[in-house]
Amino acid sequence: MRVFGIDPGSERTGYGCVETDGSRHRIVVCGAITTPALAAFPDKLHLIHSGLAAILRDCRPQAVAIENLFHAVNVRSALKLGHARGVAMLAAVESGVGVYEYTPAEIKKAVVGYGRAEKSQVQHMIKLLLGLAAVPSPHDAADALAVAICHLHSQMPAGVAGAAPMPARSKATSWRQYRPASAPTALPPAPLERSGPSTSSGPSRASSRDGGTGRRTKPLS
């Protein structure tokens, strides 16, 4: 299976293609599309779209995974990032394959096993999973490879090709339905040993009644 990952950005869009045979990952290509700083914004979008479309034609992946937009420094940056992500998704749809979106937390969880992992931890795992001598550069390319590996791990059972194990879910939907896996066997109570008449100092039930006839005695005035 071959997956193409995209890390969108208006200034630099990372891309990375990963191929797997079910037991080992192999990098096909990775890099970043950098737009000229002085170029008009529409020209930057056109460059991102045309660049990704050309690379997708060469890689011919079975799926495209793209990082979902989750935050930006300000509204202006969010709008620019949204435009860049839109043209990147358009190029992916035009390639005729399925497009999948993942949040940064989902990507970190699939690659590292922890949804709040640091970027350096993700990059280090990318290097180990792909058998590289160094972390892919620029960091946008490493992020794109992480998106691709996230999709690969989501399509494979846990424990295959370094996929992070998914925690087992309990069938119980409420704490009231919880039952321990194996309850200890209760032992029968030991018989009491009687050594003589009862030494209880309290009045017996019969003593509180009149002669044991069942009628309660009236208190003395």
Residue 25 is encoded by which pair of tokens? 């990952």
Phi, psi of 99 (to 5 degrees): -115, 130
CA-to-CA distance for 69 and 103, rounded, in angstroms? 7
- Taking alpha carbons only, the member of 33, 31, 27 closest to residue 3 is 27
Q: What is the pLDDT of residue 155?
A: 84
Residue 6 contacts by C-beta under 8 Å, 6 or more apart in sequence?
Answer: 13, 14, 15, 52, 64, 65, 66, 67, 88, 92, 144, 147
Catalytic status, residue 7 = yes
CA 163 to chain centre: 12
Task: Among 61-65, 179-183, 185-189, 210-214, name the most confident range.
Answer: 61-65
What per-residue confidence (pLDDT) applies to 71?
67
- Choose between 59 and 182: higher pLDDT: 59
CA distance 142 to 155: 20
Write down the catalytic residue from 7, 11, 21, 101: 7
How confident is the model over 100-145, as pLDDT tens digits?
Answer: 999 999 999 999 999 889 999 999 999 999 999 999 999 999 999 9
What pLDDT does 77 receive?
86
Q: What is the model's pLDDT at position 74?
A: 82
**% of the chain with per-residue pLDDT over 70:** 69
CA-CA distances (angstroms) from residue 168 to 158, 165, 171?
Answer: 11, 9, 9
57-64 mean pLDDT: 97
The stretch 25-31 carries a mean pLDDT of 96
pLDDT single digits (tens) 135-166:
999 999 999 999 999 999 988 754 444 444 43
Question: What is the pLDDT, as a whole number, of residue 216?
Answer: 53
What does the pLDDT average to over 160-189? 44
pLDDT at 14 exceeding the cut of 90? yes
Whether the CB-CB separation of 152 and 1 falls below 8 Å is answered with yes
Q: Is 58 a catalytic residue?
A: no
Q: Output the average pLDDT for the chain.
A: 80
Choosing from 67, 94, 101, 118, the catalytic residue is 67
Residue 96 has pLDDT above 60, yes or no: yes
pLDDT for the residue 157: 59
Exposed, middle or buried: residue 214 (CB in 10 Å: 0-12, 13-18, 19+)? exposed
Tell me the C-alpha distance between 140 and 147, whole Å: 11
Q: What are φ and ψ of residue 2, in 5° steps?
A: -125, 125
Catalytic-residue membership of 140: yes
Task: Check residue 161 and give left, alpha or beta (phi > 0: left; psi -120 to 50: alpha).
Answer: left
- C-beta of residue 149 within 8 angstroms of C-beta of residue 110: yes
Model confidence at 198: pLDDT above 80 = no
Report the predicted TM-score, pTM, of the whole model to 2 decimal places. 0.70
Q: Residue 28 has which token pair?
A: 């096909």
